[in-house]
Structure 1
Amino acid sequence: MVVDFYKKLLTILKDETRLVLMVVIANEGSSPGRKGFKMLVTKNQMFGTIGGGIMEHKMVELAESLLDKPNFEPFIKHQIHDKSAPKDQSGMICSGQQTIAFYDINTDFIPTVAQIILEENSCISYTNFGISVNDEATQTPEWLFKEKNSLTQKVYIIGGGHVGLALSEVLSKLDFELHLLDHRENLNTMEANDFVQTKQVVDFETIENHLPEGEDVYVVIMSFGYRTDDIIIRRLLDKNFKYIGMLGSATKIETLFKNLEADGFDKDQIAKVHAPIGIDIKSETTQEIAISIAAQLIQIRNQNR
């Protein structure tokens, strides 16, 4: 996520005082580096990626060489991933191409970083004039890439069992903010879950009071059984979430949905529930189920990018 990268940049910048920031501002085809990929290079460390491989290695060497020289103005490097290209060859053969902007960053940039971190959903502009936030351009830039400092994507996992623990571990590596809820006290798998930001023991009869609504909220229902799933879904069906999914067999889901429809719940509301949850990869083990659910959340998160 954008904020996480800039938080790391801020920490490193305070220690190192100067770094080179590389930002992929354009890409075409099957380029390994996509728009918005970022990497920073200092005299002592690196963080992030612009696509990897020999291309990234060359760009890192260039960034390191820039740190031996006086300050430089922003510039771009075009890289074509095709050895038959007459110029700008990246050394890779995956086809496609990408453009990387280079920025000389010092402690004067700290206020801008703070603004990026603090102002959710702000617009960051990368041009030949520099990096700015929510800035109305007074000059026409030679190049321009804009990205949103998107709202943090929050996942509420309702069910602290073995699958909830496995899913938390997978999602903790994928830029989601994680919250775990269960109605059982002293649940060993919940106590062992150190991957989430918050853990709560709640009454499922009032589950709606413990979840915010919004386009940055994902709800994953994997409670102890049919009865609790039924309690939960009845209280959340009419809420506004980015995603809502439920773990369970096709037979259980069919029965539950038929009962909801018979009790007057709207068909369109029922249809928005992803159930059985996850991408169909014929998953059997706890870890496979967790991966299939994580893949579906990524699919939903990235569908409009």
Structure 2
Amino acid sequence: MSNTGWIGALAELQQKGEPCVLVTIIEERGSTPRNAGSKMIVTRERIFETIGGGHLEYKAMELAREMLENRSQETRLERFSLGASLGQCCGGATVLLFEPMGQPQATIAVFGAGHVGRALVPLLASLPCKVRWIDSRENEFPEQVPAGVEKVINDEVVDEVDAMPSGSYFIVMTHNHPLDLELTAAILKRNDFAYYGLIGSRTKRVKFEHRLRERGFQAEVIQRMRCPMGLPEVKGKLPIEIAVSIAGEVIATYNAHFGAETRKGETVTKLLPASRRG
């Protein structure tokens, strides 16, 4: 029997950016052999195709969803012994390969569709990241938004902070300082982000720190804000140079941080290599 429906399902899921795990029978030994090479796809809510049903398939689905919950990026080989543990009457074993697909390393909100935003978002879109690009000015967005990027137009852009899941990355580079301050306050109030970067100079940071302290924010919370953001080793003032610097810091952060629990009060500087702290 043909087991090829997974191909179209996988293509559809990748188009949508929906994470899944591809499960493949590598080897089977037992009295009721399954077809080696049979595959099924497991998402958080659905299953496509089958590896033969029964308790083995149920256990494979459980493990695949555990991998999705933990955002696992590593392929796994698992040997399932047939017998009482899998509801089988006879002995044997099945080896399954679990391959995570489409799991984003970071979920990122980019506030601002100005020059640096237009240079940065295509870079982020080329990474294993899920990007929401947010601005109140529709005419600031380019005609073609990079594939996989969600364009969000909202007059009340600060409301979009609460729409992001815990552990998100926030990048703020809007067209005015008062809006930057309101976004900063909303993001720091959550204090459950993996990264928060604010475009600007050290002078801007000092002014923001003063205003945030006046609003009652504690120093350890304010310290989590990256401003200036980006890798200091990447010099230059051109939008693309700034964008490369920011993208590099995002990569350094998710490489160090991915899969770890987001703890309130943890500073992003702890997650960056020592040479990049500042």
Q: TM-score under structure 1 normalisation?
A: 0.54
Aligned to 2:239: 286
By how many angstroms is 1:210 displaced? 5.0
Asked whether the equivalents of residues 283 and 292 of structure 1 are also in contact (C-alpha less than 8 Å), the reply is: no
Task: Select the residue among 112, 115, 120 that pairs with 2:68.
Answer: 120
Q: Which amino acid aligns with 1:109?
A: K
Structure-2 residue corresponding to 1:110: 40
Q: Is 1:247 aligned with 2:199? A: yes
- What is the aligned partner in structure 2 of residue 183 from structure 1? 136
1:11 and 2:7 aligned: yes
> What's the offset of the Cα at 1:126?
2.7
Deviation of the 1:128 alpha carbon = 7.1
Cα displacement string for residues 180-220 of structure 1 (whole angstroms, at most 9, x for unaligned residues):
11122422x344433453112223464355532312x1110
Question: 1:158 deviation in Å?
Answer: 0.4
* Unaligned stretches of 5+ residues in structure 2: 12-24, 29-34, 48-60, 87-92, 259-278
Unaligned runs of 5+ in 1: 1-8, 16-70, 75-103
Q: Which residue is 1:51 aligned to?
A: none
Cα distance in structure 2, aligned partners of 1:183 and 1:14: 35
- Which aligned pairs between 1:1-305 and structure 2 lie closer than 5 A? 10-11=6-7, 106=37, 108-111=38-41, 114=47, 115=61, 116=64, 120-121=68-69, 126-127=76-77, 129=79, 152=104, 153-187=106-140, 189-204=141-156, 206-208=158-160, 210-215=162-167, 217-239=168-190, 240-280=192-232, 281-304=234-257
Query: Shift of residue 176 of structure 1?
Result: 0.3
CA positional deviation for 1:109: 1.6
Q: Given the two structures, how large is their TM-score scaled by the length of structure 2?
A: 0.59
Aligned counterparts of 1:275 and 1:73: Cα–Cα separation in 2:
53
Distance in 2 between the 1:117 and 1:11 partners?
20
2:7 alignment partner AA: T
The count of residues paired between Structure 1 and Structure 2 equals 202
CA distance in 1, matches of 2:119, 2:39: 39
Shift in Å, 1:260: 1.6
Percent of aligned pairs with the same residue? 23
After TM superposition, the runs of 4+ consecutive aligned structure 1 residues lying more than 4 A away are 12-15, 71-74, 111-119, 122-125, 145-151
The 8 Å contact of residues 109 and 169 in structure 2, kept in 1 or not, is answered as yes
Relative distance call for 1:212 and 1:227 in structure 2 (3 A) is: same
Which has the bigger relative contact order, CA under 8 A and spacing at least 6? 2
Asked whether the equivalents of residues 161 and 186 of structure 2 are also in contact (C-alpha less than 8 Å), the reply is no
